[in-house]
Amino acid sequence: MSQNEDTASYFKALGHPVRLQIARKLMEGEKCVSEVENMLSISQANTSQHLSILKANGIVDCIRKGNIKCYFLKEPGKIQGLLAVLENTIQEKG
């Protein structure tokens, strides 16, 4: 895939409110699937599906720890950087 398509695909993966929320939560540290599920109040299956899209785009990765799987941001700095660009607007004095 071209870099343009890769980048578009990365944006697309973050372009869903649930997946963006997951990325935000993972900025706090790694979480297992059921933690994500409970924090966002979505079904187990849907949580797993969204995580799998994030993983396919290299945004998260996971390690199994016994019976559970812990997901974490692969490059937290990227997510932080993107959100800084879009959301950390400097407020001017009123």
Min separation Cβ 52 and DNA, Å: 5
Q: Quick one: 7 or 46, whose CB is closer to DNA? A: 46
31 belongs to the binding site for a copy of itself (CB under 8 A): no
Among 6, 11, 24, 48, binds DNA (CB under 7 A): 48
CA 51/CA 21 separation, integer angstroms: 11
Q: Which is nearer to DNA, 56 or 84 (CB)?
A: 56
Q: Which residue has the tokens 């869903």?
A: 16
Q: How far is CA 20 from CA 31, 54, 65, 91, 94, in A?
A: 15, 9, 24, 23, 30
State yes or no: residue 26 binds DNA (CB under 7 A).
no
Among 51, 54, 73, 79, binds DNA (CB under 7 A): 51
Which residues, 6 or more positions from 16, have their beta carbon under 8 angstroms from its beta carbon? Answer: 50
Rg (CA), the chain: 14
Neighbours of 6 (CB within 10 A): 12
The interface partner of residue 38, options being DNA, a copy of itself, none and the CB cut-off 5 to 8 Å by kind, is none
Binding DNA (rule: CB under 7 A), the pick from 14, 23, 26, 50 is 50
